Structure 1
Amino acid sequence: MTTSTVHHRARASKIVARVASGFFLLGLSAVGAQAAGCGATFEPGRHELTIQSGGMERSAVYVIPSNYSGKRKVPLVFDFHGSNSNPQVQLTRSHWDEVAEREGFIVMALAGSLDGELPRTHAWNVPGVTKTDGADDAAFIRDAVKVAKDTFCVDATKIYASGYSGGGRMLSQYICSGFGDFSAAGFVMGLRAGTPEQENGVWRPRRESCQPSRPVSIIAFSGMKDHVNPFDGGGKAYWRYGGEVALNRWAELNGCNGRPRVDDGEAAKVSTYLDCRAGISVMSYMITNADHAWPARTVRFRLASNNGEEKIREVDATDRMWEFFRGSGGELVAGAALKPDCPDEHNTASLKEGGQGTQCSQPVKADSNAPSVSGDL
Structure 2
Amino acid sequence: RSPTPLTPQSAGTSAPPSRPSTSAPEPYHPVGQSLSTRSAQSSALTSTPLFVTWNILTPPHQSRQLRGCIGTFEAQPLDTGLATYALAAAHSDNRFNPIEARELPALEVAVTLLTNFETCSGPLDWELGVHGIKISFYHHHKRYSATYLPDVAVEQGWNKEETLESLVRKAGWRKGGSWRDAAELKVVRYQGRKESVEYEEYKRWSDWTAAQNSAYWTPPSLKMIFPKPLAGAALLLVAAESSDAAAVKARASAGCGIVRDYKGQTHTGKTIVSGGITRTYDVYLPPNYDENKATPLIISFHGNTRDSTNQRGLDHFDNNDWNPDHLVVWPNGVKGHWQGPTYADPSVSDKKFTGDLIDHLRDAFCIDDSRIYAAGKSNGGGFTGTLACSPEFGQNFAAIAACSGAFYTDVVEDPNDSCHPSRSPFPILEFHGSADETASHPISPLNRNCLLFGETIPYIPTEDGSGGPLPTIPDWLSTWGQRNGCAADYKPVVSQLNGDPTVQKTLWPSTTPNSDQEAHGDKPVSIDATPMILDFFRSIKKP
Same fold at TM > 0.5: yes
Separation (CA, whole Å) in 2 of partners of 1:100 and 1:129: 39
Q: How does 1:199-210 map to 2 (within 5 A)?
A: 204-210=413-419
1:4-37 superposed Cα distances (whole Å, 9 cap, x missing partner): xxxxxx9982666659xxxx96539x98997841
Match for 2:434 among 224, 228, 244? 224
Match for 2:358 among 124, 133, 145? 145
Letter of the structure 2 residue corresponding to residue 264 of structure 1: S
Residue in structure 2 matched with residue 321 of structure 1 by the alignment: 533
CA radius of gyration, larger in:
2
Separation (CA, whole Å) in 1 of partners of 2:332 and 2:278: 11
Deviation at 1:327, TM superposition (A): 1.5
State which drifts further: 204-213 or 143-152: 204-213
1:337-370 superposed Cα distances (whole Å, 9 cap, x missing partner): xxxxxxxxxxxxxxxxxxxxxxxxxxxxxxxxxx
Contact 1:75–1:154 at 8 Å: present in 2 too? yes
Residue in structure 2 matched with residue 213 of structure 1 by the alignment: 422
Letter of the structure 1 residue corresponding to residue 355 of structure 2: R
Q: TM-score, normalised by structure 1?
A: 0.62
Letter of the structure 1 residue corresponding to residue 493 of structure 2: V
Letter of the structure 1 residue corresponding to residue 539 of structure 2: G
Residue in structure 2 matched with residue 94 of structure 1 by the alignment: 315
Contact 1:26–1:51 at 8 Å: present in 2 too? no
Match for 2:480 among 250, 254, 271? 250
Separation (CA, whole Å) in 2 of partners of 1:110 and 1:11: 24
Q: How does 1:286-297 map to 2 (within 5 A)?
A: 288-297=502-511
State which drifts further: 137-146 or 174-183: 174-183
Q: In 2 relative to 1, CA 27–159 (structure 1 residues): closer, same or farther, beyond 3 Å?
A: same
Residue in structure 2 matched with residue 190 of structure 1 by the alignment: 405
Contact 1:99–1:319 at 8 Å: present in 2 too? no
Q: In 2 relative to 1, CA 240–251 (structure 1 residues): closer, same or farther, beyond 3 Å?
A: same
Contact 1:193–1:249 at 8 Å: present in 2 too? no
Deviation at 1:315, TM superposition (A): 4.7
Separation (CA, whole Å) in 2 of partners of 1:100 and 1:212: 33
Structure 2: state its 5+ residue gaps: 1-65, 71-87, 98-145, 150-233, 235-251, 438-456, 513-525
Q: TM-score, normalised by structure 2?
A: 0.44
Match for 1:41 among 259, 265, 286? 259
Letter of the structure 1 residue corresponding to residue 423 of structure 2: R
Residue in structure 1 matched with residue 222 of structure 2 by the alignment: none
Deviation at 1:40, TM superposition (A): 0.9
Residue in structure 2 matched with residue 238 of structure 1 by the alignment: 468
Deviation at 1:209, TM superposition (A): 2.2
Check if 1:106 corresponds to 2:327: yes
Contact 1:51–1:144 at 8 Å: present in 2 too? yes
1:299-358 superposed Cα distances (whole Å, 9 cap, x missing partner): xxxxxxxxxxxxxxx751111111111128xxxxxxxxxxxxxxxxxxxxxxxxxxxxxx
Q: How does 1:291-310 map to 2 (within 5 A)?
A: 291-297=505-511
Q: In 2 relative to 1, CA 156–205 (structure 1 residues): closer, same or farther, beyond 3 Å?
A: farther
Deviation at 1:207, TM superposition (A): 4.9
1:158-208 superposed Cα distances (whole Å, 9 cap, x missing partner): 111111000011111122122211111101000638444xxxxxx814555
Match for 2:496 among 257, 260, 265? 265
Separation (CA, whole Å) in 1 of partners of 2:497 and 2:285: 39
Contact 1:193–1:205 at 8 Å: present in 2 too? no
Secondary structure in structure 1 of the residue aligned to 2:432: strand
Q: How does 1:174-189 map to 2 (within 5 A)?
A: 174-178=387-391, 179=393, 180-189=395-404
Secondary structure in structure 1 of the residue aligned to 2:359: helix
State which drifts further: 78-87 or 252-261: 252-261
More helix by share: 2
Q: In 2 relative to 1, CA 177–25 (structure 1 residues): closer, same or farther, beyond 3 Å?
A: farther
RMSD over aligned Cα atoms: 3.6
Contact 2:279–2:332 at 8 Å: present in 1 too? yes
Separation (CA, whole Å) in 1 of partners of 2:256 and 2:267: 19
Contact 1:91–1:109 at 8 Å: present in 2 too? yes
Residue in structure 2 matched with residue 84 of structure 1 by the alignment: 305
1:105-155 superposed Cα distances (whole Å, 9 cap, x missing partner): 200111111x2xxxxxx11132x7446433211110111111112221111
Q: In 2 relative to 1, CA 183–204 (structure 1 residues): closer, same or farther, beyond 3 Å?
A: same
Separation (CA, whole Å) in 1 of partners of 2:258 and 2:298: 19
Separation (CA, whole Å) in 2 of partners of 1:47 and 1:239: 37
Separation (CA, whole Å) in 2 of partners of 1:69 and 1:111: 27
1:73-111 superposed Cα distances (whole Å, 9 cap, x missing partner): 111111000011111210111101115874322001111
Separation (CA, whole Å) in 1 of partners of 2:281 and 2:410: 27
More strand by share: 1
Structure 1: state its 5+ residue gaps: 1-9, 116-121, 197-202, 270-286, 299-313, 329-377
Deviation at 1:245, TM superposition (A): 1.3
Separation (CA, whole Å) in 2 of partners of 1:266 and 1:109: 29
Contact 2:482–2:490 at 8 Å: present in 1 too? no
1:242-281 superposed Cα distances (whole Å, 9 cap, x missing partner): 1111111111222224735625227679xxxxxxxxxxxx
Letter of the structure 1 residue corresponding to residue 431 of structure 2: F
Letter of the structure 1 residue corresponding to residue 346 of structure 2: D
Letter of the structure 2 residue corresponding to residue 47 of structure 1: H
Q: Which has the higher contact order (CA 8 A, sep 6+)?
A: 1
Match for 2:296 among 58, 61, 75? 75
Deviation at 1:67, TM superposition (A): 2.6
Contact 2:323–2:534 at 8 Å: present in 1 too? no
Percent of aligned pairs with the same residue? 28
Letter of the structure 1 residue corresponding to residue 357 of structure 2: A
Match for 1:169 among 382, 386, 411? 382
